[in-house]
Chain A
Amino acid sequence: MALKGFAGFVIGKISAAVLTIFAIVCFNFVLFRLVPGDPARLLFGDPRAGPKRIAEMRELFGLTGSLWEQFVAYLRQLFLHGDLGFSFVHRVPVMEVIVDKVPQTILLIVTGLIIAVVLGTMLGAIAGWKTGTKFDSIIITVSLGFYSIPAFITGIILMMIFSFGLGLFPIGGMTTMGSAYTGWAYVGDVAWHMALPAGAIVIWYIGEYVILTRSAMQDVLGQDYITLARAKGIKESAILRRHALRNAILPVVTITGINLAFAVAGVIEAETVFRWPGVGRLLYESVMSRDYPVLQGLFLIFAVAIVLANLGVDLIYGYIDPRIKVGGGQ
């Protein structure tokens, strides 16, 4: 690498991300042309459509000319106009359909993630601190279970208990139907609707944080400075807070970006179960209505979001970790 130090590191990471995004864009184009049969018919979705209608659809969905011409047109539309095509179900540009749903998903994913990170690292730290005890083995078994059971299953179980059984929470949606709440009443209504989908997401994420913090904690506890602190006669609770936890948390928090693919899967499942009006639910509805332009756009958005999140984590990590700043490059 020509440039040394942090600037070189940043430029390297950004250009790698740009290349990856370009590769994803190309992959996305190819993917939707692997469809057996005529993509125009598939995109249109109606097998009885006449030839004139199909020709119009070709025009609308950028399916005229050779494959290469289509590819160039697709790139031009995407990069110059931010155009992802046209949804034939919603009858508006795909970009509009998707942008409409993004804030709700971000709200859900961020809420779930924060609760999971805070609770998970706390429980994991305690389990790591008490390695080998009954508490530790219960926590680790439950975490493994939470971590592996699909979010849609957890969601349905939560729904059965808290909506059908106890009647505490609504079974879906984001606001009460026909309500016209404003201000805090609106916030409260949304929070009430979000409790169960967010709960399903917390359960889906939390296991991983518990398991990771626990093993990071075990590593830290074997270090010399912990032994030294103990030798100095510092209270155990102070060692836990000031020395062990602080050092154990850093590697755990940095995996948040890397595991966004995992997070995306949880959100899609939870939104589908609870009819939460975000991009995950949109993905499900687009599958049901075979709205291929929206599917294509959503896949691109998910993939690019993950690349950008990883880039962000890489840059922050590079900024925090002095070895990268000095060494440059790797």
Chain B
Amino acid sequence: MSGLLKGLQGVGKFLKLLLTSSMGRVGIVIFAIFAFIAIFAPYLHTVDPIKFGLPGNQLLPPNTEFWFGTDRLGRDIWSQTLYGTRVALIVGFTAAATTVSIGTLVGLIAGYFGGKLEEVLMRIVDFFLMLPYLPLMIVLAAILGPSIWNIVLVISITYWPFTARVIRSQVLSIKERTFVEASRSVGASDRLLIFSEIMPNVVPLMFAEAVLMVTWAIYAEAVLSFLGLGDPTTVSWGWIVNRAFNSGVIRDFLWWVIPPITCIAATILAFTFLGTAVSDIMKPGYREARGL
């Protein structure tokens, strides 16, 4: 698995470069804060985010016991916000992993084999790219039913063609290079060529795609939950906004909606900044320009 090792080293180098850009640094810091919250949520002054509160605890403003106040059913909004971090990051990373895997596989196969197979695959890709992504996700989520894993599935179905197209065009240029020709001429199999020779060269691109897909997945989960298509038993930020917004009383209880929308905006911004930094790094001439 020397190919994989080479790829991992590439990622390591990448992360180091990321810290040289200010957007990269801001993105990493915000991400680190949310990752900390997600991991240590149970130890950060939280209670069960979905259990109804005691009578008299409904719609309390922020206080020493309920740091972000309580919702209409007396539930602690601080706990909901912290546990929502877990959902955002789990959905973001799982969906990004499946999306990039499917997209990369299709892109590798289409780019490497070419011919009829490529044509058929790329027709499917182009068709999916033409569909309006939010209505597609809404319809799929409505049909499949509300669960967090269905949301991951919906995101993967909708976004994989974006990755497939990017990877394929990269593969097209890589497969013409001499080292691939050399391996082929000594009788390397297709599978070996694809996974050991070509794939390590698309790993940086896969990483960039993964950052983008985490951003889009967090967005998608938030929107779908806000529209009431999320998992009703799992507290996510979009879920909190949906509950607050449909309560009809949000005008007088703004603390209910401010934490989740701040978190959604902050995570999406962090990953957008990271994505921008990553795509800057991938431009040729980046290191020279910064004297690295």
Contact = CB atoms under 8 A, between A and B. Distances in A.
Interface string B30-51: 0000000000000000000000
A261 interface: yes
A273 B245 CA distance: 8
Contact of A287 (B127, B136, B228, B265): B228
A27 B124 CA distance: 11
Contact of B272 (A148, A157, A307): A148
Contacts of B132: 260-261, 264-265, 299, 302-303, 306
B36 to A, nearest CB: 22
B120 to A, nearest CB: 13
B-side interface mostly: helix
A150 B268 contact: yes
A298 interface: yes
A307 B130 CA distance: 7
A261 B136 CA distance: 10
A34 interface: yes
Interface residues of A, number: 46
Nearest to A300: B135
A46 to B, nearest CB: 17
A-side interface mostly: helix
20 contacts: A20-B130, A31-B140, A145-B272, A148-B215, A148-B272, A150-B222, A152-B241, A153-B261, A156-B241, A160-B254, A260-B132, A265-B132, A265-B133, A283-B135, A288-B228, A292-B142, A295-B139, A299-B135, A306-B130, A310-B130
Interface of A: 20, 23-24, 27, 31-32, 34-36, 141, 144-145, 147-150, 152-153, 156-157, 160, 164, 171, 260-261, 264-265, 268-269, 272-273, 283-284, 287-288, 290, 292, 295-296, 298-299, 302-303, 306-307, 310
Interface of B: 23, 127, 130-136, 138-140, 142-143, 145, 215, 219, 222-223, 226-229, 241, 245, 251, 254, 257, 261, 264-265, 268-269, 272-273, 276
> Which 5 pairs from chain A and chain B are nearest by CB?
A265-B134, A148-B272, A302-B132, A261-B132, A302-B135
Given A149-B268, A268-B138, 7 more contacts: A20-B127, A144-B273, A149-B264, A283-B138, A284-B227, A288-B228, A296-B139
